[in-house]
Amino acid sequence: MSKFVKELVTRDIQRELEGVEDAVLVNYVGLDANATNELRGELDAKQIRMLVVKNSLARRAIKGSSLAPAFEDAKGQVAICWGASDFVSLVKEVVRLDKDSEKYEEFSANGGVMDGEKLDAAKLKEVSKWPSREEQISMLVGQILGPGAQLSAALLGPGKKLNSQIKKISEGDE
């Protein structure tokens, strides 16, 4: 590949990864065309982008960015995945596809980068067990609304009890 072509590809990779701070590196080598197409469809349904890159060109393109640590030990041709609603959702989906060995035997999560910190495959599996953004929001809302609901029940309980007793007494008189 000529130097001019390498520069064009590098600029294209830079443009594609502009603004991406967290990503996962995956190995897909060995998947046939149909499996790769199906994999891309599954990722696209979750708003996850996958870009196949050559390591040397990717290193050149992301030099100085927060993605640089991910490519330190990468070898050969890899794919970089980013997107989804948050990083934990991205990792959960990639790890799920990695475990789906019947469908995508050659697909594997090699590592990634989160907040500028390099992650290996074991750390990715650990991150996949964290609650996603939606789960965290629902837990927070539950914690915020919980005391209010308890207070409401404590305030309304005696009034409802008194109301039911008055109703029984009034029905008994008729």
Residues 21 and 106 in one domain: yes
**Last residue of a domain, which of 130, 149, 166?**
130
Residues 169 and 117 in one domain: no
Residues 139 and 112 in one domain: no
174 — pLDDT class (breaks 50, 70, 90): low
SS (H, E, C) 122-172: HHHHHHCCCCCHHHHHHHHHHHHHHHHHHHHHHHHHHHHHHHHHHHHHHHH
pLDDT at 101 over 70: no
CA trace torsion 69, 73, 76, 79 (10° rounding):
-40
Residues 15 and 83 in one domain: yes
pLDDT at 18 over 70: yes
Q: How many domains does the chain have?
A: 2
Residues 13 and 92 in one domain: yes
Reported as a single tens digit per residue, the pLDDT across 32-66 is 888 888 888 988 998 999 998 888 888 888 888 88
Domain that holds residue 156: 131-174
Residues 77 and 115 in one domain: yes
Residue 3 token pair: 């130097």
Residues 109 and 90 in one domain: yes
Residues 159 and 94 in one domain: no
Residues 84 and 154 in one domain: no
pTM: 0.72
Residue 29 phi, psi dihedral angles, 5° rounding: -60, 125
State the average pLDDT over residues 131-154.
85
Residues 30 and 102 in one domain: yes
Residue 168 token pair: 């029984």
For the chain, give the percent of residues with pLDDT over 70: 98
Residues 161 and 78 in one domain: no
| CATH number of the structural domain spanning residue 108 | 3.30.70.1730
Residues 105 and 68 in one domain: yes
